[in-house]
Chains A and B, each alone.
Chain A
Amino acid sequence: MESATLPLQDSLKAAFKPNSIAIIGASNGPRLGGAEMRLLIHSGFKGEIYPINPKESIIQGKQAYPSILDVPGPVDRASIIVPASKVLQVVKECGEKGVKVVQIYSAGFGEMGQKGEQIEREMVEIAHHYQMRIIGPNCIGTYCPSSGLNFTKGASKETGNIAFVSQSGGIAFDMVTRGHIMGIHYSKVISVGNCIDLDHSDYLEYLADDEETEIIGFYIESVRNGRKFVKALQKAASKKTVVILKGGRTASGSQSVASHTGSVAGDFQIWNALFKQTGAIPVTSIEEMLITLLSQQKIKRFVDKKIAIVGNGGGATVLATDYCEEVNIELAQLQPKSAEKLTSLGVAENGRNINPIDMPAGQLAAEEGKLFGEVVKTLCEDEEVGYLLFHFNLIPIMNYMDLENIVQKMIEKLKVVDRTKTNLIGVLRYNGDPEVENIRFKAAKLLESQGIPVFSTIEQGLDGISSVVNH
């Protein structure tokens, strides 16, 4: 097989951690080629940047070159942002230059039907001739905070242990920017487009061995070589946590009526079988992906430990109990001494309200959260409890105290918890009021700085715990 001899590790290392980048189609203007370069400079990329554009001599303060062949030094990675009709020629020049990997941002190949497919094949042939690999086409770039690669504003500069590979550029944006707000940190995020050369299996293989990565997220629409993919997924999922969002789950192929088997084995069922067989975690929406990644990153799995819940809202507490059962997580049966302590603190009575615990807003906020702190301490010191979900509905609390101040005080109280024994999971609820939102955001960032994952609803928090406990 030809592909066995093609470089993979070196090519993807060059994609994420290049010493030098050529941006083919860079400009001073507002379009993609200009934005790519600005983001690269702004994100602190330390290697050489070579803008390529025959119409300019200086681009964003750097010497521009008419062709990549004019660049004096070696080039590890090229981002190709030119019209589709010029891509083939540019790929050829990159090969001649000795570029290790190109990411083709340009779109408009698959859509061109047979002619487009022909061009794709030629590009791959040329690239392989030069031992060069192709990412894309039809993608939006690469994000790697440790090397300063970036494709969007609103991305975190902090490195985390999650890698995300996306067949959709839009979803790559969502993961990076929404992830940043939620406190999810990545080792790398890459938009991989049509996968005409490097495909899902290659990215999986690379990330399975990547020291920066413990959790791998995928958005997949289609896979070309199924057997290779199953093998790569088996290997990756045996070493790391792999979470997959599959687009087009219900698109059924030509369903057979000739056999019973054909009628019960549609695409959806086959993908589910794949997840079960490999141990990959399936999710079905962008939200679920974000919640799962955040939880896998922040919540440790403590075998045989159960969950305790405390917060304001009687109805919300009842619903939380129901939801625990629905997502297959168990509420802790507290030890007698914990129950006694809760009774003496005045939150439990006659063996009721022990877990989950409903603490009305006034009680939560009383004495700057002193009672809340004592309850948290009692719950976390109980041997049964490995996960403590605390939820604040901010609006009722606001009626008692200065919200910003009291929430910070309550968060202070969480410091008594021995985090090597108990996970803390926060839920900050509110009504969407922009003023409260600001306070909520600050509180969320404060919690995040202590490594505590924060969710917007109790159900999301429980989903997150469930994803850790049940996988």
Chain B
Amino acid sequence: METAEMQTIILNEIESRQLLEDQNINLNKYAFTRTKEEAVNQARTMQFPLVMKVVSPVIVHKSDFGGVQVGLKTVEEVEQAYDRIYENAARKGVLRNEIEGVVVQEMIEGVQEILVGIKRDPIFGPVLVIGIGGIFVELFKDVQLGICPLTEEDVSKMIEGLKGFPLLNGFRGRKQADVNALISLSQKVSAMAMENEQIVEMDLNPVILKENGYGAVAVDARIVLKQ
């Protein structure tokens, strides 16, 4: 059993997004900004409502820090949200120079938030994780794992194996989610981990799964690389 500590680097959202874009993984429109002016200018090019998120190497769970502001409908709200993010971070003891900036992005509505992730196991290699996503991942732990490489059928079985699968399948009048889009996104993520040995862990959380036929969009991402 390997016990040697591995040196890893955690890519921030912007770096993670770049890797995912290279693989044609669907992401929402976003921009990284360093000043309030930049944030406002970028916001003007986007379709409201928007989301803003803090980018900092010292913050893992952004929403716990008040580092995520959602449902911003106007430019004024963007300005206020920008200040709030810095105030919230400061209150938690994060220094101003520990914050790299703020991401502004379009808010995506969908049927369900999903987690798609990778963990590289020292014995079996990349393991794909699909789960009911959002901030309750660790609480409900409704996830299915699969050892890569995986066929379309394997991934489909993983999704159907989720306790929360009915949420994607029209439970109590909900809209049917685009499960095929989730399968194809998951396949791209596993292919990425199979090709790139450096990838130790990946989180696409959440992936917004839209109504059937409208696709799946990753709105946050975190990738851990071996150095």
Contact = CB atoms under 8 A, between A and B. Distances in A.
Interface of A: 222-224, 226-227, 230, 253-254, 256-265, 267, 269-270, 272-274, 276-277
> Which 7 interchain pairs have the tightest Cβ spacing?
A261-B117, A273-B145, A226-B124, A226-B123, A259-B203, A265-B119, A259-B201
B58 interface: no
Contacts of A273: 127, 144-147
A265 B143 contact: yes
A322 B223 CA distance: 47
A227 B118 CA distance: 16
Nearest to A227: B125
A257 B10 CA distance: 11
A263 B222 contact: no
19 contacts: A226-B121, A226-B123, A227-B124, A230-B124, A230-B147, A254-B5, A256-B119, A256-B224, A258-B224, A261-B115, A261-B118, A261-B201, A262-B119, A265-B129, A269-B145, A270-B121, A270-B147, A273-B145, A276-B161
Interface in B98-151: 115, 117-119, 121-125, 127, 129, 131, 137-138, 141, 143-147, 150
B205 interface: yes
Given A259-B117, A265-B129, 10 more contacts: A253-B122, A259-B202, A260-B138, A261-B129, A262-B201, A264-B129, A264-B143, A273-B145, A277-B146, A277-B147
Nearest to B142: A264
Contacts of A260: 115, 117, 137-138, 203, 205
B147 A264 contact: no
Interface residues of B, number: 36
Of A226, A227, A262, most B-chain CB atoms within 10 Å: A262
B64 interface: no
Contacts of B129: 261, 264-265
Contacts of A226: 121, 123-125, 147
B60 interface: yes
Given A261-B117, A265-B119, A256 B201 contact: yes
A264 B224 contact: no
Interface string B143-180: 11111001000100000010000000000000000000
Nearest to B121: A270
A259 B145 contact: no
Interface string B202-221: 11010000000000000000
B202 A261 contact: yes
Contacts of A223: 123
Interface string B14-38: 0000000000000000000000000
Contacts of B5: 254
Nearest to B133: A260
A348 to B, nearest CB: 40
Nearest to A223: B123
A258 B205 CA distance: 13
Contacts of B60: 257-258
B127 A265 contact: yes
B129 to A, nearest CB: 5
